[in-house]
């Protein structure tokens, strides 16, 4: 797995703020930034001791942790000023579709207001030179018969999807109105070690198999998604920040990142079962609602403009993920 080219010295001692660092992608992004030599500050609202970034004492001791809520402009401004932040990676969000359906207000508040408060704080902080905003493929208008390109309209319908559409548009607005150095990522369904939300298909399936129990599929198993390995996602965020610094992208530009190998849930579960040499069969509940039936991304723009490519094949990514959970459950 050949690594993406990193500009020599770009990240060395660079003050980087990561919001959402206790989330799945945030934790792996922090690890990657530290390996590149960055000085990482994490804005943390809720202490999540089991998260990738906090569970590892050595990793935790290598970052600066600022307690605060991304919805508080004053809290974000303080961190940007006191730590002299150069680059902002905004990943903080409520990311669970089911939670959004049950608690739309908190999801809309965190995902939309959190984005505009962070951007307003950045607008008032002249030291900030690059801002990468995490959107999602869920922000797009449902087009089940073809892959989403960056030109696909942003038109979410359900609460989570709407929150991502709105946050994406807010980011574009700040970039175009104020000339702010903002770039936007739209990624597929992340998976990888460290995701302890067992309702998600990859960690839930692996845990069930390790326990000798049939994996549970909430839907009918035919929902199609673009599954995207978390380490590939972390690498993509850093590459986009570098491209933004080097004026390779326009302010407000958005990029899809995907391995471009969409599959339905049953196929994914079968792959995990095979890699774990299990003869268990999944239990299909057919109970999912308020979810888009089929989603896939076209990443040609990122490949052409940024020279981006995944670092891992799907099989390698699943093997790495399975190994992570084997170690995790052996230690608990």
Catalytic center residues: 160
3-state secondary structure of 130: strand
C-alpha–C-alpha distance, residues 214 and 168, integer Å: 38
Closest by Cα among 121, 99, 251, 238 to 178:
251
Tell me the chain's radius of gyration from C-alpha atoms.
19
Could you give the angle at which helices 159-178 and 114-123 cross, rounded to 10 degrees?
10
Sign of CA dihedral 241, 243, 248, 249: negative
C-alpha–C-alpha distance, residues 86 and 128, integer Å: 5
Q: In this structure, are residues 156 and 163 in contact, taking their beta carbons and an 8 Å threshold?
A: yes
């Amino acid at each position: 797995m050949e690594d993406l080219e990193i500009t020599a010295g770009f990240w060395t001692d660079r003050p980087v703020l990561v919001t959402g660092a206790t989330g799945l992608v945030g934790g792996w992004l922090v690890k990657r930034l530290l390996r590149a030599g960055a000085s990482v500050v994490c804005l943390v609202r809720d202490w999540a001791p089991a998260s990738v970034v906090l569970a590892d004492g050595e990793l935790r001791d290598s970052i600066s942790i600022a307690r605060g809520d991304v919805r508080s402009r004053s809290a974000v401004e303080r961190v940007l000023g006191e730590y002299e932040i150069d680059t902002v990676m905004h990943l903080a969000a409520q990311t669970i579709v089911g939670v959004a359906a049950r608690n739309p207000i908190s999801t809309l508040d965190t995902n939309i207001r959190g984005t505009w408060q962070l951007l307003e704080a950045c607008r008032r902080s002249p030291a900030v030179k690059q801002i990468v905003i995490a959107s999602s493929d869920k922000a797009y208008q449902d087009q089940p018969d073809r892959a989403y390109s960056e030109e696909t309209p942003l038109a979410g319908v359900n609460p989570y999807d709407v929150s991502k559409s709105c946050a994406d548009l807010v980011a574009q607005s700040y970039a175009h109105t104020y000339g702010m150095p903002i770039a936007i990522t739209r990624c597929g369904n992340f998976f990888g070690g460290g995701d302890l939300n067992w309702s998600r298909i990859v960690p839930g399936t692996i845990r069930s198999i390790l326990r000798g129990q049939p994996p549970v599929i909430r839907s009918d198993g035919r929902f199609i998604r673009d599954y995207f390995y978390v380490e590939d996602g972390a690498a993509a965020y850093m590459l986009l920040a570098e491209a933004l610094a080097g004026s390779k992208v326009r302010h407000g530009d958005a990029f899809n990142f995907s391995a471009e190998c969409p599959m339905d849930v049953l196929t994914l579960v079968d792959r995990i079962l095979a890699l774990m040499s299990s003869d268990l069969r999944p239990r299909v509940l057919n109970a999912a609602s308020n979810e888009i039936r089929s989603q896939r991304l076209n990443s040609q723009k990122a490949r052409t403009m940024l020279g981006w490519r995944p670092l891992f094949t799907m099989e390698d990514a699943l093997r790495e993920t399975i190994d992570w959970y084997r170690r995790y459950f052996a230690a608990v």
